[in-house]
Amino acid sequence: MKATRLFTTLGAAACALMLGAGGALAAGKTIDWAKVPEAKTTLFYPGQASFEWIQNGPDHGGARSFTKKGEMCSGCHAEEAADMGKKMASGQKIEPQPIPGKRGSIPLKVKAAFDEDTLYMRFEFPAGPHNAAPNAPGGKMDADNEIKLAMMIDDGKVDAASRSGCWASCHHDARDMPDAPKKEALGAAKGIDTSGGFVTKYLPESRTAVSLKDSPRGGWDKVKPQAELDSMLKAGTFLDLVRYKSGKGGVSEDGYVLAERVLKAGSGATFAGKKEGDAWVVTMTRKLNSGQPGDKVLEAGKAYTVGVAIHDDHTAGRFHHVSLDMRLGLGTDGEIKAVKQ
């Protein structure tokens, strides 16, 4: 199937915007965002579509194209993201718990720049309607955070991530998914923390087996020995993960996904966010080479696969909006083209 690019690159904005939304820039550094090309994409509501689901023909018509032909998710679905999200948010498809009034998609604008040692990014999207989220006291899954914005980064070392983006980490047995294990069974898995009462994101490479079709689908309890996981982390077989949380004045988290999701506050990437009119503007500063385990080393002249997710309206877990696979190019081609300043 003919590939369609996920982004369109637009001209610069009419006036300069400084990163300024709370000091996410390095000391003394400003970015002239008017000179940075703007990329636009559509994040969509994915329902219970998992890594296993997209590879099962009866579930997903593009399964063969993905598994046998090596096609990218964006190649088939870029122009229909909003329509897909509408179907899933309304409960027409793979969503047993539709949220009344939930928007099916979120338009996202992204700008990126870099210098000798730092990557700077700016995300802008419209604030959403306030709806009651299901199965949560007071109708809010995450009362502390109106929004969360996360991004995963792959440098080609995670199988399938370059074609599916964050779907490599989303499984049928994770939190609120169809085959999520019962809480009393969670202790059966060694090497991951399930004290929260659920399974977090993980990579297929971290498991000895993952069931794509037979129920229960996934492989949450088939964790490889710790020595193997340590070797994979050292070799770069993980997805870099950064996240911004809007509550408590804004919280920056940095980490990675391998056998599970690992996130820490106050390390690596630094975010700032605020509402500007009816839109959220979130900015990020990240060292190209932080030297921290779980952080990808980014280099000028290279492109990386990224996936962006937004939780709006105080939602949590899988009740978010996500992007298809995208390329972030540092001084090179990509749907998001970071320019040097």
Residue with tokens 């210098």: 115
Asked if the structure places residue 282 within a domain, the reply is: yes
Q: Among positive and negative, which fits the CA dihedral 34, 36, 37, 38?
A: negative
Residue with tokens 């802008």: 124
Q: Check pLDDT > 80 for residue 22.
A: no
Structurally, how many domains does the chain consist of? 1
**pLDDT for 211-268, tens place per residue?**
999 999 999 999 999 999 999 999 999 999 999 999 999 999 999 999 999 998 866 8
CA separation for the pair 100, 98 (Å, rounded): 6
Q: Check pLDDT > 90 for residue 21.
A: no
pLDDT at 12: 31
Neighbours of 301 (CB within 10 A): 8
Q: What is the mean pLDDT of residues 189-198?
A: 91
Q: Check pLDDT > 70 for residue 24.
A: no
* DSSP per-residue codes, 240-277: EEEEEE-STT-EEEEEEESSSEEEEETSS-EEEEEEET
Asked if the structure places residue 2 within a domain, the reply is: no
Asked if the structure places residue 3 within a domain, the reply is: no
Q: What angle do CA 276, 278, 284 make, to 5 degrees?
A: 45
Kindly report whether the global pTM for this prediction surpasses the value 0.75.
yes
Question: What CATH number has the domain bearing residue 31?
Answer: 2.60.40.1190
CA separation for the pair 142, 122 (Å, rounded): 24
Asked if the structure places residue 161 within a domain, the reply is: yes
Range of the domain at 116: 8-336
Confidence of residue 35 (pLDDT cuts 50, 70, 90): very high
184's tokens: 């009393």
Asked if the structure places residue 1 within a domain, the reply is: no
Asked if the structure places residue 13 within a domain, the reply is: yes
CA separation for the pair 180, 166 (Å, rounded): 19
Cis peptide before 129 (omega within 30 of 0): no
CA separation for the pair 91, 302 (Å, rounded): 40
